[in-house]
Amino acid sequence: MPMPIPLISPEALANRLTDPRLRLLDVRWWLTEPGRGRRDYLAGHLPGAVWVDLDADLTAPVGPGRHPLPHPAAFVQRMAELGVSDDSDVVAYDDAGGTIAGRIWWMLEDLGFEAVRVLDGGLTTWAALGLPVTMAVAEVAPGTLSLAPRPWRRVVDRAWLVAHLGRVAILDARAPERYRGDTEPVDAYAGHIPTAVSRPLAGNLGPDGRFLAAADLRARFDGLGDRVVTSCGSGVNACHNALAMRVAGLPDPLLYEGSYSDWTRSGLPVATGDEPGSMPV
């Protein structure tokens, strides 16, 4: 059975704004500016959209790395509080090419909720097309969401990754300069996980900010083997590569939940430069 299409165009979404099943989730967030996402939401958002706080709603208080996944039951409860029901058609968006919205898509999908998509091009493309934006804060009634609170399925932890180094393809979604170790603004050490290959998420998007065609995305990820793990700095942006692989029609990768932030906290070796490198014996 074909997997659900994970993207919706601004043009298609604009024709569905009055659909009562539609739930719009604004998940804008800035790494170096806490609180800016909420301020940006209040300054203008899609009609009917509610704001989702990455740090509070999509992240556990403690866990591996900077943005550990919350307990599935807590996440389901929070989505219901934001108006998501079993029959909802969810569209998540940000203003960063889907790099944050992809996290909601991944989380809902992993728990079996298939009616979730990411707005292709996000708010940036939406506004550029002259589509409606409002400052009115949406008031939504709590939904009824009966997803089974099963554990996250497509995830791996540090111990699993160490045991499988060299036998799985690890994708690093961070910018090339962070992969190489030229700079590291957040985590303990500059560089990348040994054996990881660089697949910066910016390469998933065209000049217009929308995802590349499926064939072009397939060319970015094909040939990696049957077992692929996607990672980034904290497990958020890694979902963008998972989203791109779904658009490409490739098998879903596993997610290293803690990603590079978890790896560097462990004291394990890191590699630098353009090459994947290997784990020291």
> Is 239 annotated as catalytic?
no
What are 117's two structure tokens? Answer: 């998509």
- Give the Å distances, CA to CA, from 20 to 72, 80, 260: 26, 15, 40
Residues 6+ apart with CB under 8 A from 53: 29, 37, 38
Describe the crossing of helices 101-110 and 238-248 by its angle, rounded to 10 degrees. 70
Residue 179 one-letter amino acid? Y
Rounded Cα distance between 131 and 139, Å, is: 21
Q: Which of 155, 173, 187 is nearest to 96 (CA)?
A: 173
Query: Which entry of 232, 238, 254, 271 is annotated as an active-site residue?
Result: 232
Phi, psi of 251 (to 5 degrees): -60, 150
Q: Annotated catalytic sites, by residue? A: 232
